[in-house]
Amino acid sequence: MDKNEKVSVVLKALDSKKAQDIKTLMISEMTTMTECFIIATGISTPHVRTLSDEVEDRMTQAGEEPLHIEGYSSANWIVLDYSDVVVHIFSKESREFYKLERLWNKETAKEIADDE
């Protein structure tokens, strides 16, 4: 399954369970670790886990297993690693605290590089 197909499956899974503030960041020009981050927010701990479960179930049905899952027990920030697509599912508080979109924003990365 190519990156675009993975992104489509993940986005449909998140949307089907009412994830909030879904963002897709194409970061392949900024790092070699992955090509795409998908970021979403759940409204409660059970909702964060439900979103993660739905992504994992739909990706498994599509023939893709995660290389790694991190954070499921606390459900503040769950990461599902599908190699070229990494899914980040946050609680609202954790998303506001970590501001992952800002960290991986091209302009922010350029600003950090310019300051060094």
Give the CA dihedral 88, 91, 97, 99, nearest 10 degrees: 30
50-92 pLDDT tens trace? 999 999 999 999 999 999 999 999 999 999 999 999 999 999 9
d(CA 24, CA 85): 10
Phi-psi region of 71 (alpha: psi -120 to 50; beta: other; left: phi over 0): left
The HSE-up count of residue 67 (CA atoms within 13 Å, CB side) is 9
Structure confidence at residue 115 as a pLDDT band (50, 70, 90) = very low
For range 18-36, the mean pLDDT: 83
**Residue in the structure block whose two tokens are 């990461």:** 79
Do the Cβ atoms of 88 and 77 come closer than 8 Å?
Answer: yes
What domains are defined for the chain?
Answer: 3-115 (3.30.460.10)
The pTM of the full predicted model, rounded to 2 decimals, is 0.86
